Amino acid sequence: MSDNAKLEASKATLDLGLNGEPVHYKGACHCRKIQYEFDHSEIKQIRECNCSICTQKGGRFVYTPGNRFHLTVGSLDDDMTAYQFNKKIIKHYFCSTCGCAPFGFAAGGKVIGINVRSMEDFDMKKVEIEYFDGANM
């Protein structure tokens, strides 16, 4: 498959981790004022996006439905800032204390994109990286 064909195919499929036994994952921002957990089938692939903000922040993502994602420490309103730009479809949350960006909310919170760099015990070297052409959406 060519790179272009891969990018086209990736737009159509967003793996929300609903197929297969759920695994419990955890993560936090750097200062740990924000801590979260979510369920997702075993993560075998993560997404790197070339849009303007992902390029700047260097995040790599997995996705889960909003009802499978919970904050265990901290609150969106009190401890985080939501940055929005362009079409304002996504709330790019970052910790108001340490500035790290562990996740974003899309579609009003129906889909959460988790930056795997903020996850605990997650080895990016063991998964496939899907290069997503977010810059041209």
- Report, in Å, the least distance between residue 28 CB and Zn ion: 8
Binding mask 31-50 for Zn ion (x = CB under 5 A): x-x-----------------
CB-nearer residue toward Zn ion: 93 or 132: 93
Q: Which of residues 89-108 bind Zn ion (CB under 5 A)?
A: 95, 97-98
- Report, in Å, the least distance between residue 111 CB and Zn ion: 23
Is 80 near Zn ion (CB under 5 A)?
no
Is 29 near Zn ion (CB under 5 A)?
yes
Distances (CA, A) of 84 to 10, 68, 101, 104: 23, 23, 13, 10
Distances (CA, A) of 43 to 55, 65, 99: 22, 14, 26
Q: For CA atoms 109, 84, 94, 15, give the dihedral sign.
A: positive
| DSSP 3-state of 135 | helix
Binding site for Zn ion (CB under 5 A): 29, 31, 33, 95, 97-98
